[in-house]
Amino acid sequence: MKFEAWLDETPGETRGIVARDGRYERLIIHRESDAPGRRLGARSVGRVARLEPGLGGAFVEMQAAGAEAFLALKGGARLTEGQAVEVEVTAEARAGKGAALKLIGPAEGPPRLVTEGPSVRDWLARWAPGVRPGEGAEAIQAGMQAEEEALGAGVVLPGPGLDIAVERTRALVAVDVDHQGGGARAKTEANRRALIEAARLIRLKAWGGLVVIDLVGSGHDGPKLADAARQAFRDEADPALGPISRFGLLQLSIPWSRTPIEEILREGAGRPTLETRALAVVRALRRALLTDTAAPRWTATAHPEEAETAGAWVARLGPRAHLVADPAMRPGAFRLDHA
């Protein structure tokens, strides 16, 4: 098993990418616009805004204005409204839901950040221990490729004849497996490989919750496939497996932990956000500067809205980097020119 890692520290955004045996497994994105106290692993002092006995917890006011997160109360813990508590983020915000918290203990003072969560470099060290991350232009390229796959609808593997589609709905993550092949042994191997690929894609997309996998064929060896599923999803925290139904459906539950990649990069309609489009200009310009060190000047031409957003980040790339706003450029498009 071979791990590779990359660290892309572009002004405005840091990305970490991990591949295992040549396949992208992890993509983590931290933006400078993020609230550090809402990242996974961050510890803060918050104020209990209101108790929700029916939900078994309380909503906690965090440092960011108007930001609330949910604290599940376990082990008979009792809180009062207005009480200050120290909490840790166990799941980042997603799909209109605030961050999830665990209770550290009572605290004093106003809401504030106590310690930031692990950095992108820290996460890379956990996911690919002992591997020195590649940086520069190769990291930018790896991040672009991992992003493309994370935003995709699945994967096709011509060798084993597998077509795997993954889709996230409000209720669950659906995985559909199609296989061009025959025989019991081929079916078993196809399902084993499909489980590995499904787990990889779900990790890459930073998804969680209920997962339903439509396996190939029927009459499955339940214990054998359950073992294969546990092995495929071994990197997830405490995955819970259900039995395989008579319709060939395997169900499992994975705890949520991160904001899904598509929610970081895209708006509700699926269009890249303004920040995503502006950062794409910065990243492309930085890549050009790194790969062509002889050119005295590189200029990016972008839509005025994106140029305005990207301006301060481009200035941090140094004197060789320039940015021009052009109303004729359509949003999301840009041009690079060198002197």
Tell me the per-residue pLDDT of 97-133, one tens digit each, with 9 for 90 and over. Answer: 889 999 999 999 999 999 999 999 999 999 999 999 9
| Tally of helices (H runs) and strands (E runs) in the chain | 7, 18
Whether the Cβ atoms of residue 115 and residue 107 lie closer than 8 Å to each other:
no
Tell me the per-residue pLDDT of 228-287, one tens digit each, with 9 for 90 and over. Answer: 999 999 988 778 999 888 888 999 999 999 999 999 999 987 899 999 999 999 999 999
58-62, 163-167, 238-242, 258-262: least confidently modelled range: 238-242
CA-nearest of 42, 175, 190 to 102 is 42
Would the pLDDT of 135 be above 80? yes
76-80, 139-143, 146-150: least confidently modelled range: 76-80
Would the pLDDT of 65 be above 60? no
**φ/ψ (deg, to 5) at 39:** -85, 155
Would the pLDDT of 219 be above 90? no
Which carries the bigger pLDDT value, residue 36 or residue 217?
36
**What is the pLDDT, as a whole number, of residue 226?**
87
- pLDDT, averaged across the chain: 93
**φ/ψ (deg, to 5) at 208:** -155, -165
Would the pLDDT of 293 be above 80? yes
Structural element, H or E, at residue 195: helix 184-205
Would the pLDDT of 184 be above 70? no
**CA atoms of 150 and 152, how far apart (whole Å):** 6
Would the pLDDT of 172 be above 90? yes
Mean pLDDT of 309-332: 98
Would the pLDDT of 188 be above 90? no
Would the pLDDT of 31 be above 80? yes
User: Residue 231, Cα to own-chain centre: how many angstroms?
Assistant: 21
**CA atoms of 122 and 26, how far apart (whole Å):** 13
pTM over 0.85: yes
* Residue 146, both tokens: 């991992």
Whether the Cβ atoms of residue 35 and residue 168 lie closer than 8 Å to each other:
no
Report DSSP letters for 268-330, one per residue.
TTSPBPHHHHHHHHHHHHHHHHHH--S-S-EEEEE-HHHHHHHHHHHHTT-TTEEEEE-TTSP
Band of residue 66 on the pLDDT scale cut at 50, 70, 90:
low
